Structure 1
C-alpha cells in the first residue's frame, strides 16, 4: 500500500455542476409570421429639456453647446435640433400664407395685404426663429444636410410647415453667402445650393414638392429662383410632379409661377394623367385650366389609362366653367369616348344629372348627342334615369334646336327599353304596360350606381319606394290633423283670450286685450294656423283631381304631390299653433309674473323635446 503524505492527500468532495456564465445578448423577437424580427439597435433619444428648448426656440439653452453635442442630440425619429424647431407650425404664418395665396391674382390687394402681414405678423414671428436657426448653424453647419428617419432635411421640414423666411436662411447657410447676398454666388456655391434643393426624402419628394403640396406661393418662388430653369423635376412615389400637385390644388398663383420660372416642368401625374386632368378635377376653377392650356394646348386630348380626357372629369364633376374653357380650346374633345364604356363627356354629365353642363356641351357641339355608349344607352336614356323629363326629353316631342335627338327616341339599348318607357318607369309606379315591371332597368341603374370616374363615384339614383297605399294612409292622416287644427283655430278666433267688452257703446263686442302686443301676436299666428290647415284641406279635395282625373298614369304623382304639399303646410300650421298658444297664455297670465314667464317657454320646450326624440331615434338607428 502506497503511503500518501498528509499534504498530498485530497479529500473527496461532491462535484457541483456550476452553471456556465453567459454574457447577455439581445434575443430576437419572434414575429407573428414565425420569422425572427430584428431588434432595433442604437435607439436614440433627446433630453427632455433639450427637446423643449428646441421646440420653443429658447436660444440661451444652446449657448453652452458646441458642434459635437448639437449633432449628437437626436430623437428616435432621428430629428436633430433644426427638425424639432421647424416642425413647430406657427398658426400666424400659416394664416398669412393662406391669405397671400388666395389674393395673388389681385395685385393691388395682394401688395397691401403683404405689407400689412409683413410688418405685423410675419416679420415679428419669424425673427425669433431665424435667430435661433442662424446661431445653431453657425455652431454646427453639419445639421443643415442631416436627414431624419423619413429622409427629410431641415429644408423639407421648413417647406412642410410654411417657414418661408427660414427657407431663405437655409439657402444662405448652404451657399455661405457673405452679407446675405444670394445674387452674387460663385458656381461652386450655386451647385451646393442646387444639390440641397434636389435632395429627396423616402417618398421622393423634394422641398419644392412639399412647398407646392402645402400651398406656400412665396416659398415656391424662393426655391425656384435658385434652381436651374431647365432642371426636370421628377415625380415622387405617387407619380406626382410639382406642377401636377399645384394643378391638383387648383392654385392659379402657384401654376403661374411654376410655368413662368421653370422651362421644363413635367406635366405628368399618376395613372397617365396630366396636370390638365388634375386642374379639371380640382373644381370649377377655369383660370387654372386656362393657365395650363396657354403653356401646352395639346394636353386637352390626352387620355389617362382609363381613356378619360380632362373634359370627361370636368363633365362628370359638373364644372361648367372648366367645360366651357376646354370646349373653346378644342370642341373635338367632346366626341372622345372612354375605354371601358365608350362614354363621351356629354353622357357623363347626363349620367350625373348636371343639366347645365349638358346644355353647355350641346351649345358648342350639338351633334355629339348622336353618340351612344357601348351599352347602347343614349343621352335620352341617361336623362330619363335622372327623371329630367322637362329638359330635352318631353313626352310627345323635342325642342326644335335639338332636332337630332329625334333619332334617339326609338333606341332601346341593352336594356330593351326606349327612353320614353324608361321615363315612365322612373316617374310612375304604375307604368303603361306589364313588361315594364321586369328588372332590366333596375339592374342597369344598380350597375350605373356602382361606376366611378377615378375616385369620384356616380351620384346615387333616387327611386320611388313609396306605394300608393302608403300615400293614401299618409293622406288620410294629414286630413285628420288639418281638420283638427282648423277647428281649434276657428274656435280660438271666435272666443278670444280675455273675452269681449260687454259695455254698450262703440267698443261693445271688441276684445278686452286688443291693445296688448302679445294679443296681436296671438291673432296673427292663430289666423296663419287656420289658413295653412284650410289650404292643406283644399289641396286634398278636388282641385288637382278635377283637372287630371282623365290621366290615370299620373294618379301616383298627384297623390305624392298632395301628400308632400299638405305635410309642408301642416308643419307650418303646427308651428304657428304652438306660438299662438304661447302668446295667448302669456296675455291671459300676465298679472302673474311667474306663470307669464313660464308660458314663454312653451314654444322652445316643444321643439326641444322634438329634437331630443329625433336625436334618440337617430342614435338607436345607428346602433
Structure 2
C-alpha cells in the first residue's frame, strides 16, 4: 500500500504543526538524510517528503542539520591513508581539517537546497519540540544554512536578497520569530551557540523595533549572549535593536550573567549601554558585583564594575545583608580595596 501524503500549501512563512498522519522513516532513508545523500532521494522520486518523519517528528531537514559528523574523526581516518607517505603527510596534515569542514558544509548546503526544491513546505514544519529547521541550523552554528533557509523563505527575484519587497521581508520576519515549545526563537538558539555569523544573518532582515522577549526560562537573547561572555554578540544585539530586553532567570540581568561568566569585555559592553544595571539585584538581593566578588574568576571584572559604580560594593544582599566587599573578604577570592 502506498503511504498517504498530506499536502500542505504555504501562503506565508508561518510554522507548520507536526503532522498527525506521518510516514515514519525507514533506516535507509534515515541514514541517507543524516549523511546528506541526495542521490537516494533523487533515485526515489515518489517519496512522501512532506509527511516523512522520525518518531520525534523531525523531517529530513531537521535530521540532516542535527547530525554532527566528527570532523576530527574524518581527518584522522583520512590521514591514515597518508601516514606511509611522509612527504605527502607533512604537506597535507595542517590544512586538511579546514578542507574537510568546508567540503562537508558545501555538501550539506547542496543537500538542503535540493530537498527544499523538491518539497518547499519542509522549511516551516516543526518537530515535536516546536522547532523549525532554522532553529536547528542556528543551534548548531550552520551560518551558510541559516542564510540559505532565509533565502528560501524570501524567494527573491534573481536571487538578490537586497531587493526584497515588503511582503518578502515580512515573510522572513515571521519565520525568524517562530517560537518553539520553550519559547525560543532562532535568535535565542544562535546566542546560545555563540556563532557570530549566524547571529548576523538572523539580524539582517529583522525590525530594529521588534522586542525579542524572554523564553520560558526567562532568558532573552541578550542575557544568553552575556552568559556566554561574548562581547561581540552583545555588541551586535545592542547595535541592531533600539530596545534590548536584558532579563534572565531568578531576576538576574545580562550584567549579572556577564559577571558570572567572568568576561570583562562583555561587562564593559553592557555597562556602556546599560550602566544603571550595576545596582540591580536578583531574587536573592545579589548585584552583579556580588557574583564577581564571590566567584573570584577575574579581578578585571570587579575592576570594571567598580570603575562604573563604586557604591555597588556596599549593597547588602537580602538574606544576610552581606556586601560584595565582605563577600570577597570571606571568600578570600579577590583583594578589593
How would you bin the TM-score normalised by the shorter chain? 0.7 to 0.9
Q: 1:313 aligns with which of 264, 271, 291?
A: 291
Contact 1:224 1:262 in 2 (8 A): no
Q: Which protein is bigger by CA-based radius of gyration?
A: 1
By how many angstroms is 1:43 displaced?
Answer: 7.4
- Secondary structure (helix, strand or coil) at the match of 1:219 reads helix
Q: 2:176 aligns with which of 197, 207, 211?
A: 197
Q: 1:286 aligns with which of 257, 261, 264?
A: 264
Partner of 2:233: 254
Distance 1:42 1:142, change over 3 A: closer
Q: How does 1:17-36 map to 2 (within 5 A)?
A: none
Partner of 1:89: 68
TM-score, structure 1 as length reference: 0.46
Partner of 2:313: 334
Contact 1:43 1:76 in 2 (8 A): no
Contact 1:66 1:140 in 2 (8 A): no
Distance 1:153 1:252, change over 3 A: same
Residues in 2 aligned to 1:90 and 1:216: alpha-carbon distance in whole angstroms: 18
Partner of 1:513: none
- Secondary structure (helix, strand or coil) at the match of 2:265 reads helix
Contact 2:182 2:215 in 1 (8 A): yes
The superposition leaves residues 395-447 of structure 1 with CA deviations (integer Å, 9 ceiling, x where unpaired) of xxxxxxxxxxxxxxxxxxxxxxxxxxxxxxxxxxxxxxxxxxxxxxxxxxxxx
Distance 1:129 1:117, change over 3 A: same
Q: 2:275 aligns with which of 297, 301, 304?
A: 297
Residues in 1 aligned to 2:70 and 2:225: alpha-carbon distance in whole angstroms: 22
By how many angstroms is 1:123 displaced?
Answer: 3.8
Partner of 1:54: 33
Q: 2:51 aligns with which of 72, 77, 83?
A: 72
Partner of 1:234: 213
Partner of 2:77: none
By how many angstroms is 1:256 displaced?
Answer: 1.6
The superposition leaves residues 126-154 of structure 1 with CA deviations (integer Å, 9 ceiling, x where unpaired) of 21111111111111111000001010111
| Aligned alpha-carbon RMSD (Å) | 2.1
Residues in 1 aligned to 2:158 and 2:97: alpha-carbon distance in whole angstroms: 22
Q: Are residue 149 (structure 1) and residue 112 (structure 2) matched?
A: no
Partner of 2:119: 140
- Secondary structure (helix, strand or coil) at the match of 1:70 reads coil
By how many angstroms is 1:117 displaced?
Answer: 10
Instruction: Structure 2: state its 5+ residue gaps.
Output: 1-19, 73-94
Contact 2:22 2:53 in 1 (8 A): no
By how many angstroms is 1:179 displaced?
Answer: 3.3
Instruction: Structure 1: state its 5+ residue gaps.
Output: 1-40, 94-115, 363-623
Partner of 1:351: 330
The superposition leaves residues 9-59 of structure 1 with CA deviations (integer Å, 9 ceiling, x where unpaired) of xxxxxxxxxxxxxxxxxxxxxxxxxxxxxxxx8675211111111111111
Residues in 1 aligned to 2:302 and 2:39: alpha-carbon distance in whole angstroms: 58
Q: Which runs of 4+ in 1 moved over 4 A?
A: 41-44, 64-68, 90-93, 116-119
Residues in 2 aligned to 1:154 and 1:136: alpha-carbon distance in whole angstroms: 12
Q: Which has the higher contact order (CA 8 A, sep 6+)?
A: 2
Residues in 2 aligned to 1:148 and 1:217: alpha-carbon distance in whole angstroms: 26
Q: Are residue 244 (structure 1) and residue 223 (structure 2) matched?
A: yes
Residues in 1 aligned to 2:130 and 2:54: alpha-carbon distance in whole angstroms: 14
Contact 2:52 2:59 in 1 (8 A): yes
